[in-house]
């Protein structure tokens, strides 16, 4: 029995999994930072173990194995049932119901043949041998597989995970206050022309470290990083993302030269030393932790400023890194993000990056990629030319410094897009999608009835028709937990309706909203004629 209570995102995810459990063998749970991914896994594990079944949890790195086990025990899972698949570990016991292993350890051993569920954390990371195991389990056995990721954007995922579970979004978490807001500044934009991207297992296609380091280690750029931090960050606890070890060392030295306590963390930093650095950071003795792809996962300290100095084309790397600064803390309203890489110009704000289905590398990758680039062009934030604050798309006056651009100063021309005729085709929705919407509208209707503000069956049908253009015929009425997409559509409809209502309605006797008799209308005409005659007479006397 767990000692934690489901939050709204965990409850939605679990309800969605129960709904589709019998139809699919593999699931991808889309859980952004702040959704409670480890707690979500604990609820799933508890459900299996309580029925005498066995679960294998695969962590992405060895450093997260003991951290995950500690969280499970903290949440109430039985410590005496947790075993480690780890060479010479004192808690190694293959008979225990909960097994935890790192991905690298797991692929070097014979895969356990006595489990009922495999949970893969950070499942967007590509490991060919592990993906082969997933394919075998889902196609040849009855073992279920659940992937967990805050960034399930990797192009191969649709081949191995058959159902996307999306209980919430980063945008919704920020609106609810479960994540902090953010402020973007982009004080420098390096020239990356001529650098070719290369594919990586963890972050997909991205720039190579060696080429980036030559550009990002320039004295002007590094000096600009420290100067911008001194100007904007005001001593905020900060983590800085760099290209490689030399780049991280260069930036660390620049901070130290200016009298700012900074420390470097890289992949080779021993775990004991890391813990000491993290402790000094939490206590405020260290102001800046400079790292190289180390703090993109499993780092939950109070971070109020992020310096992003590693140019990237990878949405995964971008969202994972910035998510470290969006966790809430006492007295924290926003996270300051200083983008010295130009990535915000390429990728946009992190809560604007969303996927509603799992990508597949064999499914029109080139075409979908070009379409996505067009969408990103349209959604790009703009940089204020005065203070370098990144304004949301469509915002004219800078909300930070109040600068109002002179005509032409804030205009960008996209010469790659020409006018083209629209073909008039609309998206075709599947019957399953329409049924899900109808079930969620029924759930909303039940919620409103319980709160004393009921909506009619006709309202549900018309709302369905507004979305799909057809009526909900031959669909069952079983309610289903409402999703952010449906909830946002209902809010949009309510706002649209409210805008149509007149602010200053006409007097009741002249209202066109109700019928009047012919005699009443004649009386109104007579009164108007008398008023006009009096007005003309007064003007003639004048």
Chain segment 64-120, per-residue pLDDT in tens: 888 899 999 999 999 999 988 877 777 788 889 999 998 888 888 888 888 999 999
Structure tokens at 184: 């973007």
H helical segments located in 50-164 = 65-75, 103-107, 128-140, 157-160
Residues 312 and 343 sit within 8 Å (Cβ to Cβ): yes
Ranges of residues in the chain whose predicted pLDDT is under 70: 187-223, 298, 361-380, 385-386, 388, 393-396, 403-428, 492, 495-496, 498-529, 531-532, 535-542
| Cα–Cα dist 294/441, whole Å | 43
| Cα–Cα dist 42/60, whole Å | 17
Residue 228 exposure: Cα atoms within 13 Å on the Cβ side: 27
State the pLDDT at residue 457: 92
pTM over 0.85: no
Cβ neighbors of 144 (< 8 A, separation 6 or more) are 21, 25, 26, 27, 116, 117, 118
Residues 326 and 184 sit within 8 Å (Cβ to Cβ): no
| Cα–Cα dist 21/13, whole Å | 12
DSSP H or E stretch at residue 47: helix 37-49
State the pLDDT at residue 28: 95
DSSP string covering 110-122: PPPSS-SEEEEET
H helical segments located in 258-403 = 271-283, 315-323, 343-347, 365-379
Q: How many CB atoms lie within 10 A of CB 48?
A: 18
Cβ neighbors of 163 (< 8 A, separation 6 or more) are 20, 23, 24, 26, 27, 28
State the pLDDT at residue 75: 94
Residues 60 and 120 sit within 8 Å (Cβ to Cβ): no
Longest alpha-carbon distance in the chain? 111
| Cα–Cα dist 486/16, whole Å | 14
- Find the helix packing angle between 245-257 and 219-232, rounded to 10°: 50
Distance from the first to the final alpha carbon of the chain: 92
Structure tokens at 194: 């001529």
State the pLDDT at residue 407: 41
State the pLDDT at residue 95: 87
| Cα–Cα dist 299/73, whole Å | 19
Residues 65 and 58 sit within 8 Å (Cβ to Cβ): no
pLDDT tens for each residue of 205-216: 666 666 666 656
DSSP H or E stretch at residue 442: helix 431-450
Classify 82 as helix, strand or coil.
strand
Q: Which of 206, 216, 194 is nearest to 313 (CA)?
A: 206
Domains recognised in the chain with CATH numbers: 8-168 (3.40.50.300), 171-190+219-355+380-426 (3.40.50.300), 428-500 (no CATH)
State the pLDDT at residue 461: 92
| Cα–Cα dist 68/298, whole Å | 9
Strands 288-291 and 238-241: parallel
| Cα–Cα dist 302/294, whole Å | 16
State the pLDDT at residue 505: 47
DSSP single-letter state for residue 81: G
DSSP single-letter state for residue 524: H
């Amino acid at each position: 029995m767990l000692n934690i209570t489901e939050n709204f995102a965990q409850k939605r995810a679990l309800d969605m999994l129960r709904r589709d459990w019998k139809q699919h063998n593999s699931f991808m749970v889309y859980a952004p930072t702040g959704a409670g991914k480890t707690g979500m896994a604990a609820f799933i594990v508890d459900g299996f173990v309580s029925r005498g079944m066995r679960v294998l949890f695969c962590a992405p790195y060895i450093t997260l194995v003991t951290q995950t086990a500690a969280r499970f025990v903290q949440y109430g899972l039985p410590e005496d049932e947790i075993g480690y698949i780890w060479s010479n570990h004192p808690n190694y016991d293959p008979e225990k119901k909960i097994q935890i292993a790192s991905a690298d350890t797991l692929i070097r051993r014979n895969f356990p043949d006595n489990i009922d569920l495999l949970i893969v954390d950070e499942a967007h990371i590509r490991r060919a041998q592990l993906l082969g195991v997933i394919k075998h389990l889902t196609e040849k056995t009855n073992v279920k597989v659940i992937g967990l990721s805050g960034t399930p954007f990797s192009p191969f995922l649709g081949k191995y995970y058959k159902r996307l579970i999306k209980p919430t979004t980063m945008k919704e978490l920020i609106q609810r206050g479960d994540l902090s807001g953010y402020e973007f500044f982009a004080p420098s934009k390096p020239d990356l022309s001529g650098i070719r991207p290369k594919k990586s297992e963890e972050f997909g296609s991205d720039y190579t470290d060696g080429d980036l380091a030559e550009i990002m280690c320039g004295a002007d750029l590094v000096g600009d990083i420290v100067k911008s931090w001194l100007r904007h960050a005001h001593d905020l606890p900060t983590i800085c993302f760099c290209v490689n070890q030399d780049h991280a060392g260069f930036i660390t030295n620049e901070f130290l030269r200016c009298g700012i306590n900074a420390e470097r963390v890289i992949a080779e930093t021993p775990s004991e030393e890391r813990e000491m650095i993290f402790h000094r950071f939490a206590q405020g003795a260290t102001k800046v932790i400079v790292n190289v792809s180390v703090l993109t996962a499993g780092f939950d300290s109070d971070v109020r400023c992020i310096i992003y100095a590693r140019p990237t084309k990878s949405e995964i790397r971008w969202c994972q890194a910035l998510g470290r600064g969006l966790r809430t803390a006492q007295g924290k309203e926003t996270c300051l993000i200083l983008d010295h890489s130009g990535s915000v110009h390429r990728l946009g704000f992190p809560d604007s990056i969303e996927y509603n289905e799992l990508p597949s590398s064999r499914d029109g990758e080139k075409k979908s990629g070009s379409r996505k680039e067009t969408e990103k062009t349209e959604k790009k934030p703009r940089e204020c030319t005065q203070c370098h604050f990144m304004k949301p798309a469509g915002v004219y006056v800078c909300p930070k410094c109040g600068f109002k651009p002179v005509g032409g100063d804030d205009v960008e021309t996209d010469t790659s897009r020409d006018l083209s005729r629209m073909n008039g085709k609309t998206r075709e929705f599947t019957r399953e999608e329409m049924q899900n919407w109808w079930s969620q509208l029924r759930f909303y209707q039940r919620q409103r009835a319980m709160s004393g503000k009921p909506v009619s069956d006709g309202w549900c049908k018309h709302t369905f028709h507004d979305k799909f253009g057809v009526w909900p015929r031959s669909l069952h009425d079983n309610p289903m937990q409402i999703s952010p997409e449906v909830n946002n559509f209902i809010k949009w409809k309510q706002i649209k309706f409210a805008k149509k209502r007149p602010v200053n309605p006409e007097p009741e006797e002249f209202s066109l909203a109700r019928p009047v008799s012919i005699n009443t209308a004649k009386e109104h005409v007579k009164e108007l004629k008398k008023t006009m005659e009096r007005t003309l007479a007064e003007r003639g006397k004048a």
